[in-house]
Amino acid sequence: MKFGGTSVQDAEAMNRVINIVRRQWADNPGDRPPVVVVSAMSKVTDRLVETSRLAAEGQADQAAQIIGELLTRHLGVASTLVQGPALEELNALLTSDFRALETDVREWAAQHEVTPAASDVIQAIGELASSRIVAAAFRQQGVDAAWVDSRQVLVTDGEHSAALPDMDATAERVSAIVGSKTAAGQVPVMGGFIGATPAGVTTTLGRGGSDYSAAIFGACLDVDEIQIWTDVDGMLTADPRVVSNPLLVPELSFNEASELAYFGAKVLHPSTIVPAVARNIPVRILNSRRPEVRGTMITANGRGDGQALTALACKRSVTVIDITSTRMLMAFGFLRRLFEVFERFKTSVDVVTTSEVSVSVTVDNTRRLEDILSNLRNFAEVSTERDMAIVCIVGENLRSDPTLFSRAVTSLNTVPLRLVSQAASRRNITFVMRDADVTTAMNLLHDQFFGAKVGA
């Protein structure tokens, strides 16, 4: 059970976490105890990044001031949740951790240098502190929890700020350290995002890395399910800013989640749950403010719940480039030449359609557009259209049910379509249209495919 920054943002949120864990465990008394992974309290990592920056600029006092503020915030939450000798012990630990960090940071500021390794030490304190508090709060409320130092469990390479796990070494430590706690009936509580090299040097997995930690630990423990508790109900059938009545997606495949994440519909980054999906462990997204909502389950294959499609997505403000050349007729090497231009100007292409003598592509990054166009004009006629958009329908069923495509096109009858493309995976169909038509198109499609069903 992984709880993100907003799910542990203050004492009230941490109390919700305790209730969620307790209730779930009580509902499944025969199960192994859950393993709890927490992020830093919300905004803490941002402030620590700022601390690094200030120290690198030599601003010792400003950096130390942030550390002091963060200590105060953590002590405040601790004193709301924990009492007596346990509170004294917790306060002493938090204080000594933050004071030690302050000493280090002042030294780094004096040298005007914060190495990537030092920056990871600074950022790690967020997860170390939040996990210590949550563990103590559990015990205060009678749950037998044990704090586990993730740096002793998650073994990584030395790529600071983007460390990769050594799964074999981590699995050994997980079963020795975490497994022994659960076997003894204790709830292990650990920080996400952080690890250490085999030599014990602190590392971090990259921003948002707590999901990755949860997937790594879950895979090593071969758990039944990984739960990512956040502050939204799960994935929706469409962006609520575009469609007025989106539904919750109850279940989707890992590949569908990846397609949707590409369009910005990301509640979590699918690549971070690869270790879990690779072992067929379902990952469920849940809302810690509304634990009664069933959330969204991501599995290797997805199963759907009878809906024809899984979700819709859109990407606004893209530019269409039409490239026409009679030389393309029966020529080879033309596409390569064309795409080399995009490569040279480091611009990625989203949708591509081709006919015998023309190619149309969309780009959303127009930084180097003028260079691209003038290079393309060396061998083709080129025109562009701005203020376009991509609308995409996603669903594993698109592979098996060819009528879904015509249903989609029919429902869009009043909307002028500029390009249409079906991915080779046939897990999505993409329409390119004027940006001005996106709201109409998305709502028409949503009514067509999700309209009949009520409630999520």
Rule CB under 6 A: choose which of 7, 9, 39, 156 binds ligand ASP.
39
Residue 229 or 334 with smaller CB distance to Mg ion: 229
Closest approach, Cβ 74 to Mg ion, in A, equals 17
Residue 5 in contact with Mg ion, rule: CB under 5 A: yes
Two tokens, residue 128: 């170390």
Stretch that binds ligand ASP, among 132-140, 205-213, 316-324, 392-400 (CB under 6 A): 205-213
CA distance 211 to 274: 10
CA distance 151 to 135: 16
Residue 195 in contact with ligand ASP, rule: CB under 6 A: no
Residue 161 or 319 with smaller CB distance to ligand ASP: 161
Q: Cite the DSSP H helix spans in 304-437.
A: 334-344, 369-376, 403-411
As to burial, measured by CB atoms within 10 angstroms (0-12 exposed, 13-18 middle, 19+ buried), residue 345 is middle
Residue 37 or 323 with smaller CB distance to ligand ASP: 37
Q: Are 163 and 195 in contact (CB under 8 A)?
A: yes
Residue 209 in contact with ligand ASP, rule: CB under 6 A: yes
Residue 5 in contact with ligand ASP, rule: CB under 6 A: yes
Rule CB under 6 A: choose which of 47, 73, 207, 337 binds ligand ASP.
207
Region of 248 on the Ramachandran plot (φ > 0 left; ψ -120 to 50 alpha; else beta): beta
Stretch that binds ligand ASP, among 136-144, 176-184, 204-212, 365-373 (CB under 6 A): 204-212
Kindly state the number of chain residues that form the binding site for ligand ASP, as judged by CB under 6 A: 12
Two tokens, residue 226: 């990984």
Q: Please give the residues from 39 up to 58 whose contact with Mg ion meets the rule CB under 5 A.
A: 39
Residue 5 or 246 with smaller CB distance to Mg ion: 5
Residue 449 one-letter amino acid: F
Residue 108 or 229 with smaller CB distance to ligand ASP: 229
Two tokens, residue 220: 């090593």
What count of Cα atoms within 13 Å lies in the side-chain half-sphere of residue 361? Answer: 21
Two tokens, residue 215: 């997937």
Rule CB under 6 A: choose which of 192, 218, 246, 302 binds ligand ASP.
192
Contacting residues for 266 by C-beta, under 8 A, at least 6 apart? 260
Which residue of this chain has its Cβ atom nearest to Mg ion in the complex?
5
DSSP code, position 248: B
Rule CB under 6 A: choose which of 3, 138, 193, 334 binds ligand ASP.
193
Residue 4 or 304 with smaller CB distance to Mg ion: 4
- Taking CA atoms, 162 is separated from 6, 206, 209, in Å, by 23, 5, 9
Residue 272 in contact with ligand ASP, rule: CB under 6 A: no
Residue 126 or 302 with smaller CB distance to ligand ASP: 126
Q: 277-299: buried (b, 16+ CB within 10 Å) or exposed (e) per residue?
A: beeebbbbbbbbeebeeebbbbb
Which does residue 395 touch among Mg ion, ligand ASP, none (CB within 5 to 8 A, set by kind)? Answer: none
Closest approach, Cβ 18 to ligand ASP, in A, equals 19
Torsion of CA 396, 399, 405, 406, to 10 degrees: -130
Residue 269 in contact with ligand ASP, rule: CB under 6 A: no
Residue 254 in contact with ligand ASP, rule: CB under 6 A: no
Residue 136 in contact with ligand ASP, rule: CB under 6 A: no
Binding residues (CB under 6 A) for ligand ASP: these are: 4-5, 39-40, 45, 126, 192-193, 207-210
Binding residues (CB under 5 A) for Mg ion: these are: 4-5, 39
